[in-house]
Amino acid sequence: MSALTNIRDLSLAQLENYFETIGEKKFRVKQVYEWLWQKHALSFDDMTNLSKDLRNKLSQEFSFPSLKIDAVQTSDDGTIKSRFKTFDGHAIEGVLIPTEERKTACVSSQIGCSLSCKFCATGYMDRKRNLHFDEIYDEVVLINQQSEKTYEKKLSNIVFMGMGEPLLNYNNVLKAIEKITAEDGLFMSPKRITVSTAGVAKQIKKLGDDKVRFKLALSLHAANDTKRDEIMPINETNNIAALIEALNYFYKQTGNEITFEYILLKNFNDSIKDAEELIKIYRQVPADLVNIIEYNPIDAFQFTKPDEESIQNFMGFLEKNRVNARLRRSRGKDIDAACGQLANKK
């Protein structure tokens, strides 16, 4: 990429200042800003109500990197997975998950991931770089356009559960959400956005200090440190006790909804004893929900999904003990778009 400044890094005030220095009328600033954040131009050429001369001038002064859709797969259940190409040639994936009640975008925050969670295909990739805030914004815009075209409905929800660890790209994720929720952006409610983390205790506390307004999900997946260490190396530096403390701090600062995510793995974390340990954690945090997730096979990980009886026994025990638990059936498995499968196949 050239050394030119990315035009979407400019604030409205900075854009106004630039237009003043080149002697352009003030209304041009509003036109350009709308193209950047509301009309979703992906190049200067898209800004059709600007003169060709002004578009040329902008292209000489600024860069305008944007995501492009590189490939699309549609599942039998209506789930749509997109591979996006970045300006520097990297690939990331995002998913549109449709149900009767909602249309959800599952977006990525990094190219690859450094956390190496054993059950997640992205964890077997190297982390190339963080996504810039405007690239995350583009993911949401492009998936929203798919939702409108395919289902004639806008996105109702966004989950940061795609490739990468959102809290290790903290500033870009928060800035993207700021634009997604802004009145002069996509104007979505922050209560319809969930950021999922593998558990970075320090950054969970920072979310509390920053008084964020979105929901938080913790990918727990094992309810004691020995098992969690085995499948999630991050637990060695961010153990369950540290995460419980961080989640309570986050809730005290924000009052925002907290969810636990728990993938069931056969003969590993699916016993009644495991359920008892999960309940102990649940009772130490003001969590709204435990999402029990079907395991989706990936090539590099040899675990399998428990049989239906084991799943129902586990769920039944949670419910008997007054845990608000929901079994999340996987969608998009046939196109490797389900939880943990992104980047599984080339």
Residue showing tokens 């080339």: 346
Helix H or strand E encompassing 274: helix 272-282
117 carries an active-site annotation: no
Secondary structure (DSSP) of 64-130: ----EEEEEEE-TTS-EEEEEE-TTS-EEEEEEEE-SS-EEEE---EES-SS--TT-GGGGSPP-EE
Q: How far apart are CA 44 and CA 8, in angstroms?
A: 12
Q: What is the DSSP letter of 50?
A: S
**Catalytic option among 113, 117, 120, 339:** 339
Q: Which 3 state secondary structure label does DSSP give 292?
A: strand
Which residues have a Cβ under 8 Å from the Cβ of 1 and sit 6 or more positions away? Answer: 63, 65, 87, 88
339 carries an active-site annotation: yes
Residue 223 identity (one-letter amino acid): A
Nearest Cα neighbor of 270 from 324, 308, 296, 298 is 308
Nearest Cα neighbor of 258 from 285, 276, 281, 239 is 285
Structure tokens at 308: 């239906």
**Catalytic option among 93, 135, 165, 294:** 93
Which residues have a Cβ under 8 Å from the Cβ of 256 and sit 6 or more positions away? Answer: 212, 213, 214, 215, 216, 250
Q: Are strands 110-111 and 129-130 parallel, antiparallel or unpaired?
A: antiparallel
Q: How far apart are CA 189 and CA 214, in angstroms?
A: 8
What are the catalytic residues?
93, 339
